[in-house]
Structure 1
Amino acid sequence: MFSALRTALVNERSLSSIQSNILAGLTVGVIALPLSMALAIASGVPPQHGLYTAIVAGIVIALTGGSKVNISGPTAAFVVVLLPIVQQYGIGGLLVSGFLAGIILVLLGLARLGRLIEIVPYPVTVGFTAGIGVVIATFQIKDFLGLNIQSLDGHYIDKLWLILQSVPSINWQETMIGSLSLGVLILWPRLQSRIPGHLVALLIGSVAAWLISQITSDFSVATIGSRFHYELNGITGSGIPPFLPGFEWPWNLPDAEGNSIGFSFSLLNTLLASAITIAILGSLESLLCAVVADGMSGKKHNPNDELIGQGIGNMVASLFGGIPATAAIARTAANVRAGGTSPLASVVHGLFILVAILSLSPVLAYIPMASMAALLLMVAWNMSEAKHFIRTLKIAPRDDILTLVTCFLLTVLFDMTIAVGVGMGLAAMLFIHRSIRLTENTKVESGRMNELELPSQISIYDINGPLFFGSAQKALKNITAITPEVRVIVLDMTEVTMVDMSAIVAMESIVANLAAKNVGLVISNLQPRIILKLRRAGVRTRPGRIRFARTMDEAIEKAKRMT
């Protein structure tokens, strides 16, 4: 734990480094402020919960994690997972799921599985992200066009059909504001300005909404202030509450019906699947972000410490009203480009958002929901990686295309819990299938080998690749099918890198089969640790029947003496 902080305290103590990280933190804070609100709204909760996440999780994860430059907070990857939880279990169920996910992330880090998570195949990742992008974009059409829809419930097809049916209720004012904001988001990067484009888009959208309200009396544009309300000491306010997040056990918060969700093992059992999905997505997103950040900054992260930090951050954030968080690639990249080199930048980013809550809440209430929808449409487009999705469809092998399309469709049509489970299963099956192809069993023709005469009573088989439950039977199945004149089998296992229990059982079967035929066996060039495994399993040297050899020359000589 704390590896990034320890390294930074040793190497990043100069005044120039501190100044650089403070400026980077302020830059990222400006970017994260509207994004955190927008992602919270997309997840089905009031915008302040996204800000609480950026503050608490952003600071805690930076101080306890394994990456010096990662910026953590709410991300678009979680939207598809969190929205169904909120709709079914309310904010209380969401925060309990985040707390459980934090525990799982800590356990993954303690089990040192950080490197293992990095091997998820590219088609699985692209399928997830493209599917999430499509779902997020679809859900923003309602606010972007100002459609008269009370709530979007049901499965994706049901929601899409409801949106299509509601198109006649389009609000021209909100559509104009959303289109203006989206146009700024698309065109602003061409100016190569250091001012974040989404900040300009929201400002222009807010000004446009104010101008429309001055021009026409028929003003009906939804804003953060008109959509969300809060209550403090019996006083009701609009928009974002201008006070610090308070400590509250997640199970004391309301469920979807407004009642306290309560603490019970049945609740934990119900939310466990969602928590596992959040933990898997969070680990993938954070470690992928750390790898990208390493390439940009030239630094190295500790993946296991990063998982532990992500877990602690999610646990603590859920106690202060924060939704699940992970490292955000866009914000991390902005941090690196702005000169961030230590966790100080993320701490400053969190403190900036905290100050913004206390001082800018009345101003933030005027942001139009159509502008927030435009921002999320841009986030969805960037996340979908359409170019990579199409390129994979064009050039990838058939197995990869099947995996990509399956993960994409499951994410869009069902939910991320199912998509993650099936996607990880497909990844494992794809890995096993391709590993099996690498393991081969080749019979060496009789004649001369290593300058030694090879009599017909000796058969040599060259085994290549790992022997595990998927490949052992394939590699060893032909060895016992021998002609009557063969008296000794030699197995050249120079390129066998591992042997699991299935392979050991297969080897025991071969030994017993050959012994019944009075045929000897010589195992050559097997690594000492694997020989030890076989001997522990009972595959031991027996007089006249089984031998181990360190080289092929030695193996052939022993085989000749056994004929």
Structure 2
Amino acid sequence: MTVGGSRFPGALGAMLMEILPFLRGVASDIGGALGDDHPGLIPTVMAAYVLTSFLTGFAFIVLGLLRLGTVVRLPFPPSTAPLTLGNVATTLFAKEHLGLLAASFFPAFNLSVSLRSKFLEAWTRGAVKSAYYIPVYLLSVPALFWIVVGSLHIPHEHLVAAGWLFTINTESKSSTGLVSSWNYWTLFDFRLVEWRALNNAIQNIVLLVVIGVLNLPIFVPSLAFSLDVAYNMNHELLGQGIANLFAGVVGTVPNILQFSYSVYFTRAKGGRFELWLVILLTGGLFLSASSLLPYIPTILASALVLFLGIELFLGAIWETSASLAPLEWAVVIGTLAACTFLGFAEGFGIGIGAATVVYLMYGVIDSPARAEPLGEWSDGHDMEISTKTPAFTPRQYSRAQTPEIIASTDGQMSVDTRTAEGSQLLEHVNARIVALSGYIFFASVPSMENKLLASKVPGELVILDVTGAHRIETTAAGCLTRCVRELELKNSRIIVCGLARNSGLHADLVRGEVPLTFDAYGEVDEKQILAFGTRRACLLWCQHQRNKGMPLDHQPSGE
């Protein structure tokens, strides 16, 4: 991910937590076929895991080549029973676990609150926004833990038994020393692999690959939305495929671009020189973990996991409530509930099904034929009651047949797509036209970005024609905002035409925080996007720019 496999800043790849049940299922299936005492059990399981990495990698690469990119365990004592919905209340809130729960939850909760507190930001003079704040805060947890333990003189054995410290299985260590404690390659022995036993694990292997492949198209747009950066899904697919092939070569499990890790690594300014220090420390910890782990309190790990959980929950539930349409937000809540109470795979399927229904409603039910008054229809379609003006369609407008401004009998302006003079007008203001149609959602983002940012000519005017579009998803609206900022760097700008005030599309753009203004008669901030209800109004504004002969930035937008 960090050598070009992803275009996201601070992109990190790791094993997808959701595939853990399927990894366990693969091992159980093979164990059931061979028996627990078979010498080929572990080599066969390791071979199966490597196979899933290769299959996942091949699947990503095929999708990328075909350019189809558009389409918490808490630290309870070892004797604690597995956590399920049936025993969650009695396990989490058992008397012997309340101390662990409080010591894990409150540091994570306080960290999330402090990151959002305007008072603390002012009082600390912005220290809570520093890239060092989160790691320093988390490292203070074990420091405070050992201060309290030292002052109370609590025995080490008691802390281990109560679940406050990690335990290390010393019986599995051999006399060969450090290497054998981490060198898992010694588990591979292809002479003992029972390939026939893989037939018993086919179902879990296929599900594992499918879950991994389906998650990337979810993570990538979400990561782009959170980091506010552009992305190319086909590039991410190819990069992820190569990463998984490499994982198979070195003998490990499938990996995927991680949303939470990548977000916080980027926000912590992971591209700075301190990254190299972190890499060295991580390598040292990898080799010496068995010696250091007994002295690391479990609440450090659980506080970190809970902090990530709180942040992701707030990002998915609370913060999106203001930016998503009610129906879209209901899908998020429903998927979360289904994953919690039914299981991840079941909830994932319900979420996909619910999203499909929503898109069907937006694409079919939400766009029936509507009867409109003739006057509004004429104005909305830029047609003049004049024999000089032919029919004017979005298809014609999106082609090279750009319109001409000519005078009509009533003194108003009308358009003619049959002559080349209109082309000269748009060429004079250095204009380019991009048309949208239908329901614009996350799968439309790559093509929309490619079209809007296609030209590298500075000072260009991009006319975004939304006459044929009826709704736009929040992710796609965020893409439009990013494109505006990128075009500003080239001294270019976007204007929108065909957008009716107070329409569903207008509401979607406002909810997506797209900076629109319909006031084309005064000074307009360069960060605002001019919006016109009709193509004719947009073309009149372009004619005004030609008559003024002024650059497009820092000028009145019309008269």
Indicate whether 1:280 and 2:235 are aligned.
no
Are 1:182 and 1:371, in contact at CA under 8 Å, matched by a contact in 2? no
Q: TM-score, normalised by structure 1?
A: 0.50
Indicate whether 1:65 and 2:5 are aligned.
yes
Counterpart of 1:310 (choices 233, 240, 244) is: 240
Indicate whether 1:88 and 2:18 are aligned.
no
**CA drift at 1:451:** 6.1
Report the equivalent of 1:356: 285
**CA drift at 1:246:** 3.6
Q: TM-score, normalised by structure 2?
A: 0.50
Question: Residue 199 of structure 1: SS of its match in structure 2?
Answer: helix
Cα separation, 1, equivalents of 2:176 and 2:102: 34
Q: Cα 1:424–1:199, aligned 2, differ >3 Å: closer, same or farther?
A: same
Greater displacement, 415-424 / 164-173 = 164-173
Counterpart of 2:55 (choices 100, 125, 132) is: 100
- State how 1:546-557 maps to structure 2 within 5 Å: none
Are 1:223 and 1:369, in contact at CA under 8 Å, matched by a contact in 2? yes
Report the equivalent of 2:335: 407
Are 1:223 and 1:368, in contact at CA under 8 Å, matched by a contact in 2? yes
Indicate whether 1:421 and 2:349 are aligned.
yes
Are 1:242 and 1:357, in contact at CA under 8 Å, matched by a contact in 2? no
Question: Residue 86 of structure 2: SS of its match in structure 1?
Answer: helix
Q: Cα 1:108–1:353, aligned 2, differ >3 Å: closer, same or farther?
A: farther
Cα separation, 2, equivalents of 1:399 and 1:251: 52
Are 2:109 and 2:310, in contact at CA under 8 Å, matched by a contact in 1? no
> Aligned residue pairs: how many?
355
1:324-365 residue CA offsets vs partner (Å, 9 max, x unmatched) = 332344544544653628xx9988865652233124542233
Q: Cα 1:222–1:216, aligned 2, differ >3 Å: closer, same or farther?
A: closer
Report the equivalent of 2:255: 324
Counterpart of 2:14 (choices 55, 67, 74) is: 74
Are 1:71 and 1:331, in contact at CA under 8 Å, matched by a contact in 2? yes
**CA drift at 1:261:** 9.0
Cα separation, 1, equivalents of 2:373 and 2:385: 14
Give the counterpart letter for 2:309 in structure 1.
A
Cα separation, 1, equivalents of 2:323 and 2:268: 33
**CA drift at 1:412:** 0.7
Give the counterpart letter for 1:170 in structure 2.
E
Give the counterpart letter for 1:101 in structure 2.
T
Q: Cα 1:340–1:243, aligned 2, differ >3 Å: closer, same or farther?
A: same
Cα separation, 1, equivalents of 2:176 and 2:87: 35
Indicate whether 1:269 and 2:203 are aligned.
yes
Structure 2 segments unaligned to the other structure (5+ residues):
28-44, 121-126, 396-434, 439-559
**CA drift at 1:415:** 2.3
Counterpart of 2:310 (choices 372, 381, 388) is: 381
Cα separation, 1, equivalents of 2:307 and 2:246: 30
Q: Cα 1:151–1:441, aligned 2, differ >3 Å: closer, same or farther?
A: closer
Are 1:66 and 1:304, in contact at CA under 8 Å, matched by a contact in 2? no
**CA drift at 1:231:** 3.8
**CA drift at 1:98:** 4.8
Indicate whether 1:338 and 2:269 are aligned.
yes
Cα separation, 1, equivalents of 2:82 and 2:176: 27
Q: Cα 1:172–1:288, aligned 2, differ >3 Å: closer, same or farther?
A: closer
Structure with more of its chain in helix, by fraction: 1
**CA drift at 1:72:** 1.1
Cα separation, 1, equivalents of 2:191 and 2:255: 17
**CA drift at 1:423:** 1.9
Counterpart of 2:139 (choices 199, 218, 222) is: 199
Counterpart of 1:369 (choices 298, 311, 324) is: 298
Are 1:65 and 1:309, in contact at CA under 8 Å, matched by a contact in 2? yes
**CA drift at 1:206:** 5.4
Cα separation, 1, equivalents of 2:334 and 2:189: 35
Cα separation, 2, equivalents of 1:151 and 1:261: 32
Identity %: 14
Cα separation, 2, equivalents of 1:428 and 1:251: 44
Are 2:217 and 2:233, in contact at CA under 8 Å, matched by a contact in 1? no
Report the equivalent of 2:423: none
Are 2:5 and 2:240, in contact at CA under 8 Å, matched by a contact in 1? yes
Give the counterpart letter for 2:271 in structure 1.
G
Report the equivalent of 2:167: 226
- State how 1:171-182 maps to structure 2 within 5 Å: 171=97, 174=100, 177-178=103-104, 181-182=107-108
Cα separation, 2, equivalents of 1:262 and 1:206: 52
Are 1:293 and 1:332, in contact at CA under 8 Å, matched by a contact in 2? yes
